[in-house]
Amino acid sequence: MKKLRSVAMALAVWAGVSAPAVAQSYPDRPIKLIVSIAAGSVTDVIMRMMDKELAPRLGQSMIIENKGGASGILAAQACKASPPDGYTLCVIYHSTLSFNPLLFNKLPYDADKDFELITRLFFLVEGLAVSGASGVKSVEELKAQALARPAAFNLGTLGNGSFPELFLKWINNQWGTQIAGVPFRGGGPVAQALAAGDLQIANMGIGNFLPLVQGGQVRILAVGAPKRSSLLPDVPIFEEVGLGGYKGRGWWGLAAPAGTPRSVIDKMNVEFTKLLKEPKFMEQLEKQATLSAPTTPAEFAAFVKEDRQAAQVLIKLANTAREDYTP
């Protein structure tokens, strides 16, 4: 019995010091960062910016693994399957937690149980863009041409159930048009297809399009934000051009596989939120047409709950039916 008491006391002491010890030594090797979008997209660019800033502070770099497509489902599945040891972090977005659970049956992950939320990262400033080759110069003109030539326009999406695909269904429902959707793995590929004239329309983060706007290959007709963007001060917001009924707003956040130690979650929350609040880095985000929006883990969880309720309203407006997810 005396020996058992000694063992129990030893275990209690170990448990008391193990969490702080893990926190002090973490990370002691590179961290894999699963990013739910293709390389070259705005979020991918930002995460590489963040790695450059955080690597010296953490003493380790983040190895970015892009898993774009399927509305973030592939990345979420990979995140869920990763060891919960703090050496896999996951960059997720509105589709991952707010929209997919409402749009799909048989998802290969549970949005409420398979992840530990770390922090919301930023909001996207989104815009309705067209190919420069289309000659379209306003939302009114886009609607007129799409009605007159039903087969002439398509819109780039990120797959079934993605934000751009919901916008497509919403706009077709509102306008009575038949614009077709074409899936891509990220905003970067969409922007290149738009510039090449292989795609006529897109609606996503304007940071994907800014260099192409300057060159005339892409034109942004309206911005989905509460006020005009300082990057495009002459471009109207959705409310000014009759698209105010679309209330979707894109966001990105950081999570980890369920079971990741709380000490890791807290440490990474501190490091990421500190960076996101630094004026110099916030300016860099604004140049990418994003708005810094860090939170505590609890605040992030409360936000996701509210955002899923808003997603339900948008899905109803877009007249989108729930369906089984098929890989």
d(CA 263, CA 268): 9
pLDDT for 56-94, tens place per residue?
999 999 999 999 988 999 999 999 999 999 999 999 999
Q: Hey, is 200 helix, strand or coil?
A: coil
Q: Which pLDDT tens digit goes with each residue over 8-52?
A: 444 444 444 444 555 579 999 999 999 999 998 999 999 999 999
- End-to-end CA distance of the chain, in Å? 56
The pair of structure tokens assigned to 275 is 């960076």
User: Residue 192: CB partners within 8 Å, gap ≥ 6?
Assistant: none
Q: How many CB atoms lie within 10 A of CB 287?
A: 11
- Tens of pLDDT, residue by residue over 241-255, are 999 988 788 999 999
Instruction: Supply the pTM of this predicted model.
Output: 0.84
Q: Which of 208, 242, 167 is nearest to 39 (CA)?
A: 208
Q: How far apart are CA 171 and CA 282, in angstroms?
A: 32
Whether cis (ω within 30° of 0) applies to the bond prior to 27 is: yes
Beta bridge partners of 222: 128
- Report how far residue 178's alpha carbon sits from residue 80's, in angstroms, rounded to the nearest whole number: 37
Q: Which domains does the chain have, with CATH numbers?
A: 32-124+249-321 (3.40.190.150), 126-241 (3.40.190.10)
- Statement: residue 153 has pLDDT above 90: yes
Residue linked to tokens 């983060």? 205
pLDDT in tens, 273-288: 999 999 999 999 999 9
C-alpha–C-alpha distance, residues 282 and 284, integer Å: 5
Cα–Cα distances in angstroms (integers) from residue 130 to residues 10, 138, 143, 209, 216, in the given order: 67, 9, 12, 10, 11
Query: In the structure, how many helices (H) and strands (E) does the chain have?
Result: 12, 13
How buried is residue 174: exposed, middle or buried, by Cβ count under 10 Å (0-12/13-18/19+)? middle
